[in-house]
Structure 1
Amino acid sequence: LVGKESTYEITVHNAGEVAAEELVIFVSLPGWADVLGAEVSTGSTQVVPAGEAGRTFLWKLGHLPGATRERLALRIVPRESRPLDLAVRWEYKPTLSQATIEVQEPKLSLRMEGPREVMYGKKELFTLRLSNTGNGDAENVVITLMPLTPGDQPVSQNIGIIPAGEEKAIEVELTARHAGQLQINAVAKADGNFEAQLAEKILVRRAALQVEVDGPQVQYVGAVATYRIRIRNAGTAPARNVRLTATIPPGGKYVSGIEGARLEANGTRLQWTSDSLNPTVEQTYLLRCTLSLPGDSRLEVGCTADDELAAAAVTTTRVEAVADLVLEVKDPAGPVPLGEEALYILHVRNRGTKSAEGVQAMAFFSRGVEPVAAEGAEHHMAPGQVVFHAIGPIAPGGEVTLRVRARAETAGNHVFRAEVHCKPLGTRLASERTTLFYQDRTSAQQASRPAPLGPAPLGPANADPGEPKLPDQQTPPPLPPTAGGTRSFPASPGDQMQPPKVER
C-alpha cells in the first residue's frame, strides 16, 4: 500500500568452501520509495543517493566464510502506486583456485646388527635391517650381499614391497676365512632407482704360529748338541691345543730338555703339547741330543694348533768325527835293584770317533838309566831314549800297547817320561813316572866288574834274550844331544805344538 511500511528480507548464502573476501551487496531502489531502516546479521549499511531516478543501498559484509548465510532486512515505504522492483547485485574479491598435490616417495635405509669382532672359521649370525622411512611404498625391493672372497658370486634376495614406515629383517650367516679387517658390503634397490648401501668393517681374529730353531753349526760325533726352539703367536687370537713335533736326525738320540715330551717312532720323533698360546706370547724350549753319524744332520720342528694352524722350521748341523788320544803309563810297582830290568808299558788309546794317523811315541830316561829293549812298534833307541814311529792308524776305540825295558847304572830316584805326538790332530801328550833303583849286595858285585857303558846298538841285538826280537829299523834322523850333568829330556818334534798334558 502506498505510504505503508513494508519489510523486505535479503539473504546471502556462500555455498562454496572458500570464503568470500571484501563482499559488498548492492540493492537498487526507485526514487519514489523511502528506506526507513535496515537490520543486518553482520556488516554495515549505507544509502547512496542517485537522484530522482533512484538510490542504492549498500551492505558491506567484508568476509563471508564458506557454507555460511547472512541476512539483511529493509523497511521500505512506497510513495507511488507502481511496481517496486529491487535489483540486487554483489561484488567480492576474486579467489584463486588452488589444489595441493601430495607427492609420495619411498626412502630406503640399511643397517647391520651383529658382532664387530669374530673368530676365524667360526660361524656368526648377522641381521640386515632394511627400513622404508619415506611416505611411499618401496616396490620390488631386492637386497644383494657382495662376496667376501674375490672370485665368489654376489648373493641376492627378493624382498618385495616394503610399505612406508615399515622394516624388514634378513638374517645372514657368515664364516670368515681371512684374518684381519673384513668389510661387509650390501645394497638394497627398489623401483624408481631408489637404493640404500651398507659398508661395515669387522675384525677377524686368528692365531698365527711362528717357529724358530737354532743349533750348533758344527758338532762332534757323540757330543751333546743343544737346540733352542722358539714358538710365537704373532696373531690376534689365542692358539688352542698347540702340538709340537721334533724329528731327531738319523743316528741322533734325545737326551733331555723338554718336560713332558714323549718319544715315538723308535725314538726318532719327540712330541709335546701346550694348552694355549696367547697373542704376542713366546715360548722357548731347549732340546739336547747326541749325534753319532758324521755329515749333515737336520733337526726338523713342526707346530700345529686348532683352526688349521701350522708352522715349521729346520736347522742343519755339520757333524764331524775326531780322533781323541789318551796316554796311560804303567811303571814298576816298586823299587828295582840295580842291574835288573824295569818294565814301562805305554797304552795309547783312541777314544774318539775317527781314526788317528801320524801318531809318534817317545820314551826318555834321566841320566843313569838306559833303555835295553822296546816292542810294540817300529822304533829307534839312543842313549837315554826310545823313539817309536809309524804307530797306527789307531781306529776309534782302538789301542796300541808299547813296552820299554831299561836298566839303571846308578842308584837313586830316576825319572821316566813318555810323550805321544799326533801332528794332524795337534795333540801332544806326556806322562812322567819316578822309579827308585837301589843297590843290593848282588848288584854291587856285578857293578865291580868292568862293562861297556856307551849307547845301545840299534835293533834287537841290545834286547834281552828272553824278549821278542824287533824288526830291523831304518835309522831316523839323529836326536838332539843330552845336556851335561843331570840328563835333560831332549827337544821333540812336537815343540811347536801346545804344551804337553802331564799325567802323574
Structure 2
Amino acid sequence: MTGPERVGAGNEVEFQLTLSNTGDAAVTGVQIEVRSDAFEPIDRPTIDELKPGQTEKLTLRAVPVKSGRQICTFAAVSPEGIECVSSTTVEVVPPRMTLSTSGPDLVKLMEGFSLAIEVDNVGEFPIRNAKATLSAPEGIELEREELDLGDIEPGGTVKGEVMVRAVAEGVWTVKVAVRCDGGGKAEGEVTVRAAAPKLALSLSRKLIPLKVSEKAILTVTVSNDGDAPAEGVSVSVDSPPEGLQISPMSLKLGDIEPGGSAQGDMEITPLSPGRYDLKLKAGCAQGVEAEVELTVVSVSRPEIRVAVTDDPDPGLAGGEVVYRVKVSNVGTEEARSVELTASFPPQLAIKDVKSSKGEVSVSEGKAVVRIGSIKPGEEVNLTFKVDALEPGDLIVRFAIKAAPPIGTISAEEMTSIIGSEGGR
C-alpha cells in the first residue's frame, strides 16, 4: 500500500494497493475496507476472484476528515474470513481560512441592506465545500440563513452577500460562521444600529364645540423626534363615527426628516348632535405610529337672526317711511312660538303692516306679529309702512320673543326725518 505523505483535510486522496494470493486456492468476493475513522472512503472496490499466484493493483479514493498525523489502514476481507491488512501514515493538514464580514453601521428601520462575506484560503491545500451560516437576534430578519461558497483554491478568495432587514430599533449583531470539509472553520460578526423614526402627533385643539352643520378646521402636526426619516407619513381617523363628516379621512404628509415636522388640515362637520370621541393615528412606512384623542361636541338648536332696513333715510316730514324686517332661522332646529313686536315713536304713525307668515295686530304706536314656528333655513319677511309726522332722529325698536332656548332678541333702526324748513 502506498499513498501521499502529506494531504489537505477535506481533499480527495488516492492510495495504491497491491493484493496478491499466495495460497493454493482461489479467493472470491474480496472486499476492500477502510479501517480508520480519520478517512472516509469514496468507493469500496470488490475483487470477484483472485487466483493462486495472481496479483491485483487497485486505486482507492478517500477523504481525510481529521487533521494531524493519521494512520490509514486498509483491509482485504473474503467471505470465508480470510483477511490481510496494510497501513500507511499520512500527515493531514487542516484547512486554513480567514473570514471578513462587513455591513453598514447605521440602517433605517424596515429597510433592507447587504451583509458582505469574504473568505480567503491562506492554507496550502484547497478548501472544499465552504458554507456560511448566519444567525441573528429578533430585531433582524435574514433573507437566508445559509450561503454556499463552494471550493477555494490556495491563495484564493470567495465573496458572497446576504440581504438583511432590521425590523426593530436598536443595536443588533449578526453572527457568521464558515465551515468546510475537513473541519475547517472561521467566525465573524457584523454589528449594526437600526435607527427608527419617532412620531409625535399633536392637534390645534383637542375639544371642538360645534353646532350641527357648522364646519371647523383642525390643524394636525406630526413631528419626527427619531434618528431616521419617517417615510410616507399619513394621519387617519380610527373608526370614524356616524354623524360626523371628516375631510379628508386620511391626510398624506409625505416624508419627514429627523427633527422635522409636517402639518395638514382636516375639516370637521357634525351632521347630528352628540358627543364624538375620536382617535387620530399617525403612521409611516416603517410601521411606527403615534395617536392622539379628539372630542367633538355638537349641539342642535334654533337660531334667530333679524335684519332691518328703512327707506327712505333720511325722509321728509309728511312723507312715508317703509321698514322691512327679515326674520330667519339659521339654526338646525325649529324655532317655536315666535312673536315680533314693533314699537314706533309718536312722530311715526303706523299705516300698514304685512307679514309673509303669522297674524298681525296693530295698536297705538305698536304692531304685534304672531309668526308661530320657523323651520331651519326659513325666512319670514315683514313690511311696516308709517307716516312721518314730525322731524327728528327717530328710533324704531323691534323685539322678538320665542320659546327656549331663544328667549328675547332685540333690534332697532334709527331714521332721520327732515322738516319742511330743512331742520330735524
TM-score, structure 1 as length reference: 0.46
Decide whether the 8 Å contact of 1:332 with 1:435 is kept in 2. Answer: no
Task: Report the AA paired with residue 283 of structure 1.
Answer: A
Partners of 1:328 and 1:431 within 8 A in 2: no
5+ residue gaps, structure 2: 1-90
Partner of residue 21, structure 2: none
- Cα deviations by residue, 1:363-412 (Å, 9 ceiling, x for unpaired): 223346665775644566665434445x332223322234556678x744
What is the distance in 2 between the residues matched to 1:411 and 1:191? 123
Q: Report if the CA contact (8 A) 2:94-2:183 is conserved.
A: no
Partner of 2:258, secondary structure, is coil
Query: 1:160–1:281: structure 2 CA closer, same or farther, 3 Å change rule?
Result: closer
Tell me the equivalent position of 2:209.
218
1:418 Cα deviation after fit: 1.9
Find out whether 1:227 has 2:218 as its counterpart.
yes
Q: Work out the CA distance in 2 between the residues paired with 1:356 and 1:400.
A: 12
TM-score when normalising by structure 2: 0.52
- Asked if structure 1 preserves the Cα contact closer than 8 Å seen for 2:198 and 2:225, the reply is yes
Unaligned residue ranges in structure 1 (runs of 5+): 1-101, 255-267, 440-504
Deviation at 1:144, TM superposition (A): 3.4
Counterparts of 1:341-360 in structure 2, within 5 Å, are: 344-360=323-339
Q: Matches of 1:177 and 1:314 in 2, distance apart?
A: 31
* Secondary structure of the structure 1 residue equivalent to 2:374: coil
Per-residue deviation, 1:282: 1.0
Corresponding residue number in structure 2 for 1:238: 229
User: Is residue 411 of structure 2 the alignment partner of residue 430 of structure 1?
Assistant: yes
Aligned pairs, number: 316
The CA deviation at 1:342 is 6.8
Deviation at 1:230, TM superposition (A): 1.8
Q: 1:126 aligns with which of 116, 125, 129?
A: 116
Other-structure match for 1:395? 375
Q: 1:363 aligns with which of 332, 342, 346?
A: 342
Given the alignment, which residue of 255, 267, 271 partners 1:293?
Answer: 271
Task: Work out the CA distance in 2 between the residues paired with 1:157 and 1:143.
Answer: 5
Alignment of structure 1 residues 56-67 onto 2, 5 Å = none
User: Percent identity at matched positions?
Assistant: 19
**Structure with the larger strand share:** 2
After superposing the two structures, state which structure 1 stretch, 231-240 or 310-319, moved more: 310-319
Distance (whole Å) between structure 2 residues aligned to residue 294 and residue 394 of structure 1: 19
- Partner residue, 1:284: 263
**Which letter does structure 2 place at the counterpart of 1:291?**
T
Residue 406 of structure 2 aligns with an amino acid whose one-letter code is L
Q: Aligned AA for 2:327?
A: V
Are 2:399 and 1:419 equivalent residues in the alignment?
A: yes
The CA distance in 1 between the partners of 2:390 and 2:286, in whole Å, is 87
Which residue of structure 2 aligns with residue 186 of structure 1? 176
Matched, 1:173 2:152: no
* Structure 1 residues 154 and 301: alpha-carbon distance in aligned structure 2, compared to 1, 3 A threshold: closer
Q: CA RMSD in A?
A: 5.5
Identify which of 294, 305, 315 aligns with 1:326: 305
Distance in 2 between residues matched to 1:348 and 1:139, nearest whole Å:
98
Q: Whole-Å Cα distance in 1 between the matches of residues 263 and 398 of structure 2?
A: 49
Quickly say closer, same or farther: Cα 1:174–1:436, change in 2 above 3 A.
closer
Matched with 1:263 is none
Aligned ranges 1:70-219 → 2 under 5 Å: 111-119=100-108, 120-129=110-119, 144-149=133-138, 155=145, 171-180=160-169, 181-187=171-177, 197-207=187-197, 211-214=201-204, 217-219=208-210
The alpha carbon displacement at 1:220 in A equals: 3.3
Distance in structure 2 (CA, Å) of the matches to 1:224 and 1:191: 75
Does the aligned pair in 2 maintain the 1:244–1:301 contact within 8 Å?
no
CA distance change for structure 1 residues 370 and 202 in 2, over 3 Å: closer, same or farther?
same
Q: Which has the larger radius of gyration?
A: 1
Greater RCO between the two (CA within 8 Å, min separation 6)? 2
Partner amino acid, structure 1, of 2:413: E
